Amino acid sequence: MEKALLKLARQINAFDEASLMSLWEKYAEIVANFEPTKRWEEAVIVFNLIQSTRMKNQLFNYNWAQSRMPGEEPSDIDLMALTAPQTPVQREPVQDSPEALEAEEAAREEEKKKARRGKLLTLTPKNRK
Protein backbone atom coordinates (compact mmCIF):
# COMPACT_ATOMS: atom_id res chain seq x y z
CA MET A 1 0.00 0.00 0.00
CA GLU A 2 2.82 2.39 0.88
CA LYS A 3 4.41 1.89 -2.55
CA ALA A 4 1.11 2.69 -4.25
CA LEU A 5 0.68 5.85 -2.17
CA LEU A 6 4.22 7.00 -2.90
CA LYS A 7 3.68 6.42 -6.62
CA LEU A 8 0.47 8.45 -6.45
CA ALA A 9 2.31 11.22 -4.56
CA ARG A 10 5.00 11.36 -7.26
CA GLN A 11 2.36 11.61 -9.97
CA ILE A 12 0.45 14.38 -8.21
CA ASN A 13 3.66 16.23 -7.39
CA ALA A 14 4.40 16.35 -11.12
CA PHE A 15 1.27 18.51 -11.66
CA ASP A 16 1.59 22.25 -11.22
CA GLU A 17 -0.47 23.97 -8.53
CA ALA A 18 -2.14 26.37 -10.99
CA SER A 19 -3.60 23.50 -13.01
CA LEU A 20 -4.86 21.81 -9.86
CA MET A 21 -6.28 25.03 -8.46
CA SER A 22 -8.27 25.54 -11.66
CA LEU A 23 -10.26 22.47 -10.58
CA TRP A 24 -10.76 23.69 -7.01
CA GLU A 25 -14.16 25.35 -7.53
CA LYS A 26 -15.59 22.36 -9.40
CA TYR A 27 -14.67 19.87 -6.68
CA ALA A 28 -15.51 22.26 -3.84
CA GLU A 29 -19.03 22.51 -5.25
CA ILE A 30 -19.41 18.73 -5.52
CA VAL A 31 -18.06 18.21 -1.98
CA ALA A 32 -20.35 20.91 -0.58
CA ASN A 33 -23.41 19.05 -1.92
CA PHE A 34 -23.26 15.77 -0.04
CA GLU A 35 -24.54 12.64 -1.80
CA PRO A 36 -24.10 9.12 -0.44
CA THR A 37 -22.40 8.01 -3.67
CA LYS A 38 -19.00 6.81 -4.84
CA ARG A 39 -18.87 9.87 -7.12
CA TRP A 40 -19.08 12.17 -4.07
CA GLU A 41 -16.48 10.13 -2.15
CA GLU A 42 -14.06 10.30 -5.09
CA ALA A 43 -14.67 14.04 -5.41
CA VAL A 44 -13.76 14.47 -1.72
CA ILE A 45 -10.48 12.63 -2.32
CA VAL A 46 -9.70 14.73 -5.43
CA PHE A 47 -10.55 17.90 -3.49
CA ASN A 48 -8.23 16.86 -0.67
CA LEU A 49 -5.44 16.05 -3.13
CA ILE A 50 -5.75 19.57 -4.53
CA GLN A 51 -5.73 21.02 -1.01
CA SER A 52 -2.78 18.88 0.06
CA THR A 53 -0.74 19.97 -2.96
CA ARG A 54 -1.44 23.60 -2.11
CA MET A 55 -0.47 22.97 1.53
CA LYS A 56 2.75 21.22 0.44
CA ASN A 57 3.67 24.19 -1.75
CA GLN A 58 2.94 26.67 1.04
CA LEU A 59 5.11 24.70 3.47
CA PHE A 60 7.86 24.41 0.88
CA ASN A 61 7.80 28.15 0.17
CA TYR A 62 7.73 28.97 3.89
CA ASN A 63 10.66 26.69 4.70
CA TRP A 64 12.60 27.90 1.67
CA ALA A 65 12.10 31.51 2.79
CA GLN A 66 13.20 30.61 6.32
CA SER A 67 16.37 29.00 4.99
CA ARG A 68 17.18 32.16 3.01
CA MET A 69 17.16 34.33 6.18
CA PRO A 70 20.28 33.40 8.15
CA GLY A 71 20.32 34.51 11.75
CA GLU A 72 16.54 34.79 12.06
CA GLU A 73 14.65 32.58 14.50
CA PRO A 74 12.41 30.10 12.65
CA SER A 75 8.71 30.35 13.45
CA ASP A 76 6.85 27.35 14.77
CA ILE A 77 4.29 25.78 12.45
CA ASP A 78 1.32 23.86 13.87
CA LEU A 79 1.15 21.04 11.34
CA MET A 80 -1.70 19.34 13.18
CA ALA A 81 -3.92 22.39 12.65
CA LEU A 82 -3.05 22.41 8.92
CA THR A 83 -2.87 26.17 8.88
CA ALA A 84 -1.02 28.18 6.29
CA PRO A 85 2.22 29.45 7.79
CA GLN A 86 2.34 33.11 8.69
CA THR A 87 5.05 35.19 7.03
CA PRO A 88 7.59 36.22 9.67
CA VAL A 89 8.00 39.91 10.38
CA GLN A 90 11.04 41.13 8.49
CA ARG A 91 13.22 44.18 8.90
CA GLU A 92 12.77 46.88 6.25
CA PRO A 93 15.46 46.63 3.53
CA VAL A 94 17.27 49.69 2.28
CA GLN A 95 15.47 51.33 -0.68
CA ASP A 96 16.61 50.12 -4.14
CA SER A 97 18.80 47.39 -2.64
CA PRO A 98 18.52 43.84 -4.00
CA GLU A 99 16.74 42.95 -0.75
CA ALA A 100 14.19 45.73 -1.30
CA LEU A 101 13.50 44.58 -4.84
CA GLU A 102 13.18 40.98 -3.63
CA ALA A 103 10.81 42.05 -0.82
CA GLU A 104 8.70 44.02 -3.30
CA GLU A 105 8.48 40.99 -5.60
CA ALA A 106 7.59 38.75 -2.65
CA ALA A 107 4.80 41.17 -1.67
CA ARG A 108 3.39 41.05 -5.21
CA GLU A 109 3.50 37.23 -5.16
CA GLU A 110 1.72 37.20 -1.79
CA GLU A 111 -1.04 39.41 -3.20
CA LYS A 112 -1.45 37.02 -6.13
CA LYS A 113 -1.71 34.09 -3.73
CA LYS A 114 -4.36 35.88 -1.66
CA ALA A 115 -6.38 36.49 -4.81
CA ARG A 116 -6.29 32.73 -5.62
CA ARG A 117 -7.32 31.53 -2.18
CA GLY A 118 -10.39 29.36 -2.00
CA LYS A 119 -13.34 29.84 0.27
CA LEU A 120 -14.16 27.97 3.46
CA LEU A 121 -16.86 25.38 2.93
CA THR A 122 -19.53 24.52 5.45
CA LEU A 123 -20.57 20.96 4.75
CA THR A 124 -24.13 20.04 5.70
CA PRO A 125 -26.06 16.96 4.61
CA LYS A 126 -29.07 17.37 2.34
CA ASN A 127 -32.42 17.00 4.08
CA ARG A 128 -34.24 13.85 3.10
CA LYS A 129 -37.98 14.01 2.53
Domain residue extents for the chain: 2-68+75-116
Distances (CA, A) of 129 to 99, 126: 62, 10
Question: CA 35, CA 40: separation in Å to the nearest integer?
Answer: 6
What pLDDT score does 127 carry?
65
- Residue % of the chain over a pLDDT of 90: 22
Beta-carbon contacts of residue 77 (< 8 Å; ≥ 6 apart): 59, 62, 83, 85
Residue range 12-66, pLDDT digits in tens: 888 887 888 888 888 999 999 998 999 999 999 999 998 888 888 888 887 887 7
Determine the 3-state secondary structure of 11 from DSSP: helix
* Prediction pTM value: 0.52
User: 71 — alpha (psi -120 to 50), left (phi > 0) or beta?
Assistant: left
What pLDDT score does 24 carry?
87
